[in-house]
A and B are shown apart, each in its own frame.
Chain A
Amino acid sequence: MSRVELINVSKNYGPLRVLNDVSLTIETGEVIAIIGRSGSGKSTLLRCLNGLEPIQSGTIMIDGVKVNDPDTDLRKLRQNVGIVFQSFNLFPHLSVSDNITLAPRLVLKQSPDQARKIAADVLARVGLADKIDAMPQQLSGGQQQRVAIARSLAMNPQLMLFDEVTSALDPELTGEVLRVLEGVAREGMTMILVTHEMGFARHFATRIVFMHEGKVWEQGPVAETLSHPQTAELKSFLDAVLN
């Protein structure tokens, strides 16, 4: 059973077709880098994967569970699918520790002590052990994003989605976040990243998925796809981002 399976998925916003007959299969342990122009539907794809957005046709399966089925318990599903947003979306009224422990306590019914231990553990993994009692506003953008990653990790998900997690950061802060992502990838996490960091994609992704006009336009192993793009669209996209 594949970890993620999209079969002929289409998604509209009103008259606008944002995902057009997308099919994609992802195996456990893969690290997928999704690239593509602005507006090509990358974020939408991620949001459909954890059921934040409904789809109009097709099928999305995660670990054999159909996401776009009214009978599926999305809450259950989302416990296994972490998502990290471009804009962090930390809870500003909660400390770092409470941000991380909220869901484990409420959803996984962990005891406060247990949850805090896990919080300390995931914070150490993102290199912020000393910030456990800070408030989000006291942290830099890079630190906030690492807390957001830690918050996702604390749920011990089977699959993690990252939507341009470094785009809102100053260049000197992207490095620290990318290093955290590397660590997570090394631990064998199945990851889908929407990213503009081609260097990162080249080193840590197992596969590149190029989206164009709501379609998976081209995909393949990283090195090959980046050095020998098959379509004119990917070629011109790569020319643009790699200068």
Chain B
Amino acid sequence: MKYGLQFRDVFAAWEFLLEGLAVTLALSVCTMVLGFFLGLACACARTYGGARFKQAVTVYIETIRNTPLLVQIFLLYFGLPSLGLRLEGFDAALIALVINLGAYSTEIIRAGLEAIPKSQIEAGQSLGLTPWQIFRYIIVFPALKAMYPALSSQFILLMLATSVVSQISVQDLFHVGSIIQSRTFRDFEVYTVIGCIYLALAFMMRGVFAVIYRQVFAR
């Protein structure tokens, strides 16, 4: 049996692919921003907060990190309506992704904050700086630098993981791919093209992150 690869039908749907790409990008960017701040809040709560906070954050992180993203999304999208809360696909996806990324970035951010030697903070204190000044002038920059590599790879993983939202019919790049597939039956070609687009996106993100790092931290 001979199978001729044929990409024409796939490329014919380029506008549709672009729409999907836009959704994937929107979802990724929103998740990165919101997830980062959620992680930051939780990391601060865990590092500087009281025992209650620490416990709550730990439970949150462990729950999220030990269950699959797909199940978390299903729970929000299919499960919540039976409790009387109906979410749009995009909203459910965004919330699930933010909660998920928040848990992973908490760990990364916490490690970054803890990478600052105690002696640095003590030096700040002995110079009479306020806690806020210590945070602002002594902790933030080196902590960001320490967490940057792990955080940026986590962001790329997140972008790739957004493909999972296709399973609750959010029209992201992957879902658009499966629609094109059902129209053209060019399954292998569709997923090859989709895969290449994700790959290009991942490389672009890596490039952008590298440039930012060089501009901001490598001095």
* A contacts B directly (C-beta below 8 A): no
Where the two chains meet, the residues of B that have a C-beta atom closer than 8 Å to any C-beta of A are: none
